[in-house]
């Protein structure tokens, strides 16, 4: 078959550029909006997802991680002796007040963990070591928040909730979805920074023994610890995401924005592909007059749409890499996992094919007698 | 057996409450190796008759036979195949695919018939050679003159080896010298290749190329419209020029 579809697309370079720009714009828009949405959801539960714990023991009816309430330290000891438990760590996530060296005050979220095991600790450490957090007053923040927190280098001393704190390291990419940065420190320091009682903890992070039946461990913990909820990391992560996504306006705003991005993307692609077909409507009429069966014409139109989708997607992914990298340097968190890449490819293809279907409808209803009209 | 035989064909277009009678009881037979010129003023029904013969428009009533087969009552879905197997079209505006080269335009017509690859290329080259454009295989329509475009269109119409060639005002967009060449070629298609050729035109200069001229007025074939056409060298000798409407002498 002569390369009619390819030629229809690329014979006129300017038209080809316009068509591809339309698809690329739509795909980049979707990547950014859906990436923001994924970034938001991932950020809300990042601490849980990276904790390395199998189970989280939380006070009964704790809806999300920021809403943990204290439980007696005794539950920690009870957890340690529960069958199937390899390790349990006390864990705290609490608000605190950070006094910058300039004298300004910033709200932060203190994350207290056990530096000996590292469960629930920082990841992507780019300066300093997690072990450094064992020293008294030591804290670690993300390099994104250096300016906000008035810190320029390791060793700087600040004040958290009236107590001395020393910056011993930096992470990269641990972003808070609110405006309050995470401050990682040891559990013991965290008690001081948050003024919690020493005989209490907010959460327990539990690691099951290799091969242990997690459901059984969960039931045993629940039976042994009493008035608590024992959740898998995935469950607690989902609850936290759900809370921020659907209970607060912020999540819904981003969700609506993502959906709008999707709709605008669909409309732009549909319009672009439709216009490409309409540009050649007379030629399709000629094909019909010559006796081409409809399936022959469909093949040309679908091939046009497919080429537009694949090329547009590839170019858009190239552009998106720059956009995502740029966002990582700034305040926005755009996260594009491979699964989203794949989903957007399928979506782009589906959009182009749907748009092709719309134009096919137009071509099918075309009167071949149009070829005799000037 | 006639290549195309139209009997009592009427075509009525309905626009709201208006009924426009475009063809009114038309009878016409065209044989292999014959070139028939359909003439008449604007709105007389020439292109409508061409469309009905080409299975592009369906007659409101009457019979249309192509090579002895009644096609007027075939379901819509079967008409593309009838066109593909029996009819080649030449359009006033050439209707070449602007994104394909001259050769590829012909290859496309061959592709519809299932002829592809080297065989299609060879056949397209051969057809281009027949219309004197063997050097322009790779030229795009935008780089061809009007006359050359129409010659490519004729080659394309011949690609599927149809029995019937229908041409709608093939010289209208051309200067007379190019138009003359095109008409010579159309006549050769009829006489040399034995096709039945029907040409719609309102240009009286094309009269000498026809074996027979059929005059349409208000959707009817005009009786006693015979007139003497100038003789042309090489025209089909048998029967001379016949300006009688089809059926007039029945």
* Among B47, B54, B95, beta carbon nearest to A286: B95
| Structure tokens, A196 | 């919690």
Helix axes A13-44, A294-329, angle to 10 degrees: 50
Rounded mean pLDDT, A235-264: 84
CB within 8 Å: A286 and B80:
no
At A239 the pLDDT is 92
Residues of B in contact with A15 (CB under 8 A): none
Q: By the 8 A CB rule, do A153 and A105 touch? A: no
Rounded mean pLDDT, A191-206: 90
Q: By the 8 A CB rule, do B63 and B130 touch? A: no
| Structure tokens, B178 | 């190019």
Please state, in angstroms and rounded to a whole number, the distance separating the CA atoms of residues B99 and A287. Answer: 14
> Would an 8 Å CB–CB cutoff place B242 in contact with chain A?
no
At A81 the pLDDT is 93
In this predicted model, what pLDDT tens digit does every residue of B102-156 receive, in sequence order? 999 999 999 999 999 999 999 999 999 999 999 999 999 999 999 999 999 999 9
Please state, in angstroms and rounded to a whole number, the distance separating the CA atoms of residues B102 and B84. Answer: 20
ipTM: 0.85
At B246 the pLDDT is 30
| Nearest residue in chain B measured CA to CA from A13 | B99
| Nearest residue in chain A measured CA to CA from B115 | A1
Question: Does the structure show a pLDDT above 90 at B9?
Answer: yes
In this predicted model, what pLDDT tens digit does every residue of B186-197 receive, in sequence order? 999 999 989 999
Between B71 and A357, name the one with better pLDDT. B71
Q: Which residues contact A308 (CB under 8 A, 6 or more apart)?
A: A9, A19, A20, A23, A272, A273, A276, A352
Rounded mean pLDDT, A143-155: 90
In this predicted model, what pLDDT tens digit does every residue of A275-328 receive, in sequence order? 888 888 889 989 999 999 989 999 999 999 999 999 999 999 999 998 888 877
Q: What is the mean pLDDT of chain B?
A: 87
* Among A2, A3, A289, beta carbon nearest to B83: A289
Interface test with B, best of A289, A296, A374 (most B CBs within 10 A): A289
**pLDDT tier, A175 (very low <50, low <70, confident <90, very high otherwise):** confident
Between B223 and A150, name the one with better pLDDT. A150
Pairing between strand A182-186 and A105-113?
parallel
Q: What is the mean pLDDT of chain A?
A: 89
Rounded mean pLDDT, B178-185: 91
Please state, in angstroms and rounded to a whole number, the distance separating the CA atoms of residues A68 and A60. Answer: 9
Terminal-residue alpha carbon distance, chain A? 28
Q: By the 8 A CB rule, do B90 and B166 touch? A: yes
At B245 the pLDDT is 25
* Among A12, A291, A374, beta carbon nearest to B80: A291
**pLDDT tier, A272 (very low <50, low <70, confident <90, very high otherwise):** confident
Please state, in angstroms and rounded to a whole number, the distance separating the CA atoms of residues A104 and B222. Answer: 101
Q: Which residues contact A93 (CB under 8 A, 6 or more apart)?
A: A47, A65, A66, A68, A109, A110, A111, A112, A202, A203
In this predicted model, what pLDDT tens digit does every residue of B217-246 receive, in sequence order? 999 998 544 444 455 544 432 222 222 223
At A219 the pLDDT is 94
At B32 the pLDDT is 96
| Nearest residue in chain A measured CA to CA from B46 | A372
Neighbours of A220 (CB within 10 A): 18
Please state, in angstroms and rounded to a whole number, the distance separating the CA atoms of residues A311 and B67. Answer: 48
Q: A with B: how many residue pairs have Cβ under 8 Å apart?
A: 72
Q: How far is B233 from chain A (nearest CA, A)?
A: 31
Question: Does the structure show a pLDDT above 70 at B165?
Answer: yes
CB within 8 Å: A4 and B116:
no
At B217 the pLDDT is 93
| Structure tokens, A185 | 């420190």
Q: Is A80 exposed, middle or buried (0-12, 13-18, 19+ CB in 10 A)?
A: middle
| Nearest residue in chain B measured CA to CA from A293 | B80
């Amino acid at each position: 078959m002569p390369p009619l579809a390819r030629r229809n697309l690329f014979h006129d370079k300017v038209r080809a550029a316009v068509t591809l720009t339309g698809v690329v714009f739509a795909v980049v828009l979707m990547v950014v909006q859906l990436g923001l949405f994924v970034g938001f959801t991932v950020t809300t539960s990042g601490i849980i997802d990276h904790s390395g714990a199998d189970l989280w023991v939380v006070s009964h009816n704790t809806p999300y991680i920021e809403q943990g309430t204290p439980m007696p330290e005794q539950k920690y000891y009870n957890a340690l002796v529960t069958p199937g438990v390899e390790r349990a760590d006390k864990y705290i996530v609490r608000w605190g007040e950070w006094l910058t060296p300039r004298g300004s005050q910033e709200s932060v979220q203190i994350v207290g963990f056990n530096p000996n095991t590292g469960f629930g600790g920082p990841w992507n450490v780019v300066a300093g070591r997690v072990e450094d957090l064992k020293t008294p007053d030591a804290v670690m923040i993300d390099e994104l928040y250096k300016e906000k927190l008035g810190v320029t280098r390791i060793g700087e001393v600040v004040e958290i909730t009236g107590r001395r704190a020393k910056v011993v390291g930096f992470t990269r990419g641990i972003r808070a979805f609110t405006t309050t940065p995470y401050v990682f420190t040891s559990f013991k320091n965290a008690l001081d920074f948050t003024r919690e009682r020493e005989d209490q903890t907010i959460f327990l992070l539990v690691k099951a023994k290799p091969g242990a039946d997690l459901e059984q461990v969960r039931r045993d913990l629940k039976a042994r610890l009493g008035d608590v909820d024992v959740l898998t990391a995935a469950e607690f992560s989902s609850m936290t995401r759900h809370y921020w996504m659907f209970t607060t306006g912020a999540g819904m705003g981003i969700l609506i924005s993502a959906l709008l991005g999707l709709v605008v993307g669909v409309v732009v692609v549909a319009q672009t592909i439709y216009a490409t077909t309409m540009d050649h409507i007379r030629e399709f009429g000629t094909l019909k007059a010559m006796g081409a069966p409809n399936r022959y014409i469909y093949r040309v139109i679908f091939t046009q749409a497919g080429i537009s989708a694949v090329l547009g997607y590839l170019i858009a992914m190239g552009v998106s890499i720059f956009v995502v990298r740029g966002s990582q340097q700034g305040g926005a968190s755009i996260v594009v996992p491979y699964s989203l890449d794949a989903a957007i490819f399928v979506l782009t293809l589906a959009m182009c094919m749907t748009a092709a279907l719309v134009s096919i409808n137009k071509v099918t209803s075309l009167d071949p007698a149009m070829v005799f009209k000037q | 057996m006639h290549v195309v035989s139209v009997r009592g064909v009427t075509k009525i277009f309905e626009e709201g409450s208006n009924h426009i009678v475009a063809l009114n009881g038309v009878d016409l037979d065209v044989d292999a190796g014959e070139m028939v010129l359909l003439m008449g003023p604007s709105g007389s029904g020439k292109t409508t008759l061409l469309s009905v013969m080409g299975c592009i428009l369906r007659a409101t009533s009457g019979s249309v036979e192509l090579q002895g087969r009644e096609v007027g009552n075939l379901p819509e879905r079967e008409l593309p195949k009838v066109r593909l197997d029996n009819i080649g079209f030449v359009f006033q505006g050439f209707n070449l695919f602007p994104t394909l080269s001259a050769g590829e335009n012909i290859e496309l017509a061959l592709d519809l018939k299932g002829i592809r690859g080297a065989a299609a290329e060879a056949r397209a080259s051969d057809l281009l050679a027949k219309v004197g454009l063997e050097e322009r295989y790779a030229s795009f329509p935008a780089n061809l003159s009007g006359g050359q475009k129409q010659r490519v269109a004729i080659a394309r119409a011949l690609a599927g080896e149809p029995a019937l060639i229908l041409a709608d005002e093939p010289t209208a967009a051309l200067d007379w010298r190019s138009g003359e060449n095109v008409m010579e070629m159309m006549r050769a298609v009829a006489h040399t290749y034995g096709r039945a050729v029907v040409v719609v035109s309102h240009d009286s200069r094309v009269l000498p190329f026809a074996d027979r001229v059929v005059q349409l007025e208000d959707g009817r074939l005009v009786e006693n419209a015979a007139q003497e056409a100038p003789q042309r060298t090489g025209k089909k000798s048998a029967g001379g020029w016949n300006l009688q409407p089809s059926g007039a002498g029945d």
